[in-house]
Amino acid sequence: MPHTSQSEPRAFARGVLQAESEALANLASSLGPEFDAALDLIVRCADRGGTVLVTGLGKSGHVGAKISATMASLGIPSHAVHPTEAAHGDLGRFRPADLVLALSCSGETDEVVALAGILRQDGLPIISITGGARPEASSLERLATVALRLGVRTEAGAPFFVAPTSSTTATLALGDALALAAAKRRNFTDEDFARRHPGGALGELLRPVTDVMRFAAGRNMPLIPESVSVMEAQRLAAAAGRRPGAIVLIADDGTLAGVFTDGDLRRLILRDAAELARPIADVMTRAPRCLPDSALVRDAIHMFREHRQDEIPIIDDARRPVGMLDVQDLIAMRLIKD
């Protein structure tokens, strides 16, 4: 067996990645009016209550299932349909308001072409995605209302391997582009996305910070006047029982004046314990970084990571404190590490 250095597989892998990257770059530069026409069909289908039914065989079928899932998560009703199963009863899934996204790199996959032929007779619009390696139109393209071409003529890994690589990557990326462009056209928002992803880490990132903060003004977080001494502020805070790692100070009009952290207290005592008698306004952090009560958990994570800030005051539109988000809240949710 010939000797193979450790660097050779790595160089081959880099070539695979480079080839797939080039396939995506070529696809991006070649998008034309056909993409706009396909986008119009998807938006029209979703707006009138139809479903985008995605079909493909083999690896195209697996890619199609992911494209369908992406569309569904972005507010575009979608299901993946196996082309063979369609001929054995699943044709009942297709309704006049629906749209078909048919995937076949060659454009000649018998099962996909046969299904497209039946649906074309029923008057359903069809978007095809094919490799487009040949100049002449494939059978699937001739049946399609809009034909999209990937422009992939060589798979990554060739000539050693013939497995679909660049073509499946490009198909997936083009499906993502269609789904995201359609969602953008339909003004799909983060709030819409959050309603469709209530579980898991992704759902947690899209929750309002007010849903996850443990310390709320008027419940278990006292709002302390900035006019009191450090000692008095500590006494008032302790009366509330368990509290966050910072005291929230307010001005006479109830707006956020500043914060005083446990770290500030330790440094003050180490410097001179007599300073506990000073007005807390003299030693607090004025105008601390805070978040509006409309912020999402992902905004808080960004602030924690960007500024290493362990407590974030949450304020309303009038800059009145409504609560405090502690870094331990997000650690407990396993959204950030200690």
Q: For residue range 49-108, what is the model confidence (pLDDT) as tens digits?
A: 899 999 999 999 999 999 999 998 888 999 999 988 876 666 767 888 899 999 999 999
Helices (H), the chain: 7-30, 33-47, 59-73, 83-86, 110-121, 139-143, 166-185, 190-196, 200-205, 209-212, 230-238, 262-271, 297-307, 327-332
The 3-state DSSP class for residue 206 equals coil
DSSP string, 266-334: HHHHHH-GGGGGSBGGGTSEES---EETT-BHHHHHHHHHHH--SEEEEE-TTS-EEEEEEHHHHHHTT
Hey, how many other C-beta atoms are within 10 angstroms of the C-beta on 30?
14
Q: Are residues 40 and 171 in the same domain?
A: yes
Q: Scanning the structure block, which residue is given the tokens 């209530």?
A: 198
User: Which CATH number does the domain housing residue 220 bear?
Assistant: 3.10.580.10
Q: How many structural domains compose the chain?
A: 2
First to last CA, the chain: 50
194 within some domain: no
Q: Are residues 38 and 128 in the same domain?
A: yes
Taking the C-alpha atoms of residue 246 and residue 334, their distance in angstroms, rounded to an integer, is: 22
pLDDT at position 1: 42
DSSP string, 230-253: HHHHHHHHHTTSS--SEEEEE-TT
| pTM listed for this prediction | 0.64
Q: Are residues 14 and 163 in the same domain?
A: yes
Q: Are residues 179 and 248 in the same domain?
A: no
Structure tokens at 67: 């494209």
Q: Are residues 160 and 249 in the same domain?
A: no
Q: 122 pLDDT band (50/70/90 cuts)?
A: confident
Q: For residue range 300-327, what is the model confidence (pLDDT) as tens digits?
A: 888 887 777 788 899 999 999 999 888 7
User: Which CATH number does the domain housing residue 25 bear?
Assistant: 3.40.50.10490
Q: Are residues 182 and 214 in the same domain?
A: no
90 within some domain: yes
Q: For residue range 151-184, what is the model confidence (pLDDT) as tens digits?
A: 998 899 888 888 899 999 999 999 999 999 999 9
197 within some domain: no
Taking the C-alpha atoms of residue 157 and residue 24, their distance in angstroms, rounded to an integer, is: 16
User: Residue 102 sits in which domain range?
Assistant: 7-188
199 within some domain: no
Q: For residue range 211-256, what is the model confidence (pLDDT) as tens digits?
A: 888 888 878 888 999 999 999 998 888 887 667 778 899 999 999 9
Q: For residue range 251-297, what is the model confidence (pLDDT) as tens digits?
A: 999 999 999 988 889 888 888 888 899 999 999 989 889 999 988 88
